[in-house]
């Protein structure tokens, strides 16, 4: 067996692992990168990238269908297989950045095999034994398949297989009303499929209810059927005729089934017991530094660290780990400034505390300010006036922000910056923005915090009257 001694061994070549490996090797560390599956991980091959490519094609179809005032809409001609060619082309265009060749070019030793710890400082992968000073577990997560009776007997898709489907479903059934389920529901509906979503609790249940209602109303208006508050009791049928038996006795039949009820961390088979690394169903047990609580030589990033499951979190974690494992500097991970976005139309984005969370934490100290896109000139000009910006403020600083509306995933960036840097609202309220832009809605929300102090203040009004009398 080949023996390698290295500074850093990274297990998993998804977003987090690639970021750690690239940063570490370019700073001069010796790095071994191990990946048993596809380079780029879930995000490139079965998640963020293909889903946004599919959403873009669906948006083009919807724009053609709806038209615009003075511009007649026409029924789009959708070649579903060609849409999937677009999805594959987008993956192929981005793939070289995450490729084995690129990382070997940077100086990493890349091993394409299953990794397994055989001791606290030793991992075996294929015919290679790696001894390292530090390890980073970046194995991500896989789709969770719920134990629904009959599900194991019928063909179904997850995000790992749905993008390879080239024949358009006549009727797509989706179990799960979270971001993945609803993004895929709207995209497939716009591409000509009938779509029914079943959610046992509330669709987008993690999000602000007022904002979620805006998104759900839009999907329903486009013809997506969404059933909330009822679970799936059983699944039966075969390819082309799949039936969901709901807990309330209803039966839904479709041609295809997508299961989108969450994800489970992929740490099975890593031999973590041999390394003395404690873990549970949520992932590796880590401290605030993302270091294993039971083996100080092991770090975990991204989904494997048992926290928020977002690609951008994995990238953020990578910086935290590189700072410690490569530079020997202290660093701790935060979660209060991490944004999230659901890429439906309209989009929904949140950073920091929701209104309900903020009220529970801050009580009477909380002020909630908002601005609607119906008062934003750019949104009105583009017939995108639905939605709003809502900001939760304590002591003049935002503790959370929500945007539902056009380009919410882009617009949330300014609020992510504000929370990360702990800026006061005066910073945004005093910023000059180009007119007309959607970003003015955020500035308007920030300015709304100061409006009562300026325009409803009797003392200020008395001062102004005095100044006006004495000014020459």
**Residue 85 is assigned to a ligand binding site:** no
CATH architecture assignment, domain 2-39+99-143+264-325: 3-Layer(bba) Sandwich (3.50)
**Residue 406 is assigned to a ligand binding site:** no
**Residue 395 is assigned to a ligand binding site:** no
**Residue 177 is assigned to a ligand binding site:** yes
Mean pLDDT over residues 259-263, rounded?
97
**Residue 430 is assigned to a ligand binding site:** no
Residue 382 CB-density burial (10 A; 0-12 exposed, 13-18 middle, 19+ buried): middle
The closest alpha carbon to 226, from 157, 169, 176, belongs to 176
**Residue 175 is assigned to a ligand binding site:** no
Q: Where are the domains of the chain?
A: 2-39+99-143+264-325, 151-262, 339-455
**Residue 303 is assigned to a ligand binding site:** yes
Q: How far apart are CA 470 and CA 467, in angstroms?
A: 5
Q: How far apart are CA 106 and CA 27, in angstroms?
A: 11
- The dihedral built from the CA positions of residue 182, 185, 188 and 191, taken in this order, carries a sign that is negative
- What are 68-107's pLDDT values in tens digits? 999 999 999 999 999 999 999 999 999 999 999 999 999 9
**Residue 282 is assigned to a ligand binding site:** no
- Total residues found in the chain within this entry: 472
**Residue 345 is assigned to a ligand binding site:** no
- What are 66-79's pLDDT values in tens digits? 999 999 999 999 99
Q: How far apart are CA 286 and CA 293, in angstroms?
A: 5
**Residue 139 is assigned to a ligand binding site:** yes
**Residue 262 is assigned to a ligand binding site:** yes
Find out whether 220 and 204 touch, Cβ atoms under 8 Å. Answer: no
Cα–Cα distances in Å, from 172 out to 77, 133, 195? 19, 49, 5
- What are 214-229's pLDDT values in tens digits? 999 999 999 999 999 9
Out of 3.40.710.10, 3.30.390.30, 3.100.10.20, 3.40.50.880, which CATH number does the structure's domain 339-455 have?
3.30.390.30
Neighbouring CB atoms inside 10 A of 71's CB total 9
- The dihedral built from the CA positions of residue 36, 40, 43 and 48, taken in this order, carries a sign that is negative
Q: Are strands 241-246 and 251-254 parallel, antiparallel or unpaired?
A: antiparallel
User: What is the pTM assigned to this prediction?
Assistant: 0.95
pLDDT at 454 over 80: no
Enter the tokens of residue 200: 């046992």
**Residue 99 is assigned to a ligand binding site:** no
Out of 3.50.50.60, 3.40.50.10490, 3.30.1650.10, 2.60.120.10, which CATH number does the structure's domain 151-262 have?
3.50.50.60
Shared fold status for 2-39+99-143+264-325 and 339-455: no
């Amino acid at each position: 067996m080949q023996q390698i001694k290295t500074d850093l061994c990274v297990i998993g070549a998804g977003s987090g692992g690639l970021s750690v490996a690239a940063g570490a090797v370019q700073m001069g560390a010796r790095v071994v990168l191990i990946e048993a599956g596809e380079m780029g991980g879930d995000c490139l091959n079965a998640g963020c990238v293909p889903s946004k490519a599919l959403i873009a094609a669906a948006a083009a179809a919807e724009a053609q269908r709806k038209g615009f005032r003075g511009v007649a809409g026409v029924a789009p001609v959708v070649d579903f297989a060609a849409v999937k060619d677009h999805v594959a082309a987008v993956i192929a265009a981005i793939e070289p950045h995450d490729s084995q060749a690129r990382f070997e070019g940077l100086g990493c030793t890349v091993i394409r095999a299953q990794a397994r710890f055989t001791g606290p400082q030793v991992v075996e992968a294929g015919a290679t034994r790696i001894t390292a000073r530090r390890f980073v577990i970046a194995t991500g997560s896989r789709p969770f398949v719920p134990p629904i009776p009959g599900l194991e007997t019928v063909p179904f898709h997850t995000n790992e297989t749905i993008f390879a489907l080239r024949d358009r479903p006549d009727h797509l059934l989706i179990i799960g009303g979270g971001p993945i389920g609803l993004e895929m529901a709207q995209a497939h509906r716009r591409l000509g499929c009938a779509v029914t979503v079943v959610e046992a609790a509330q669709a987008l249940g993690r999000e602000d209810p007022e904002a979620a209602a805006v998104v759900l109303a839009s999907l329903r208006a486009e013809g997506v059927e969404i059933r909330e508050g009822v679970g799936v009791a059983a699944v039966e049928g075969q390819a082309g005729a799949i039936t969901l038996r709901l807990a309330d006795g209803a039966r839904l039949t479709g041609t295809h089934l997508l299961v989108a009820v969450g994800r489970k961390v992929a740490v099975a088979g890593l031999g973590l017991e041999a390394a003395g690394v404690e873990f549970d169903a949520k992932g590796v047990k880590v401290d605030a530094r993302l270091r294993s609580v039971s083996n100080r030589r092991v770090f975990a990033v991204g989904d494997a660290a048992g926290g928020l499951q977002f690609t951008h979190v994995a990238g953020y974690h990578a910086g935290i780990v590189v700072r410690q494992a490569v530079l020997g500097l202290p660093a701790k991970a935060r979660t209060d400034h991490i944004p999230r976005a659901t890429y439906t139309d309209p989009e929904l984005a949140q950073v920091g505390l929701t209104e309900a969370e903020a009220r529970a934490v801050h009580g009477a100290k909380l002020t909630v300010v908002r601005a609607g896109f119906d008062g934003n000139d750019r949104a009105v000009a583009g017939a995108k006036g639905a939605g709003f910006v809502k900001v939760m403020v304590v002591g003049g600083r935002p503790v959370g922000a929500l945007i539902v509306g056009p380009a919410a995933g882009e617009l949330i960036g300014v609020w992510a910056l504000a929370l990360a840097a702990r800026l006061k609202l005066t910073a945004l309220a005093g910023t000059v923005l180009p007119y007309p832009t959607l970003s003015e809605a955020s500035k308007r929300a920030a300015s709304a915090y100061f409006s009562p102090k300026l325009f409803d203040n009797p003392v200020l009004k008395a001062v102004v009257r005095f100044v006006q009398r004495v000014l020459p």
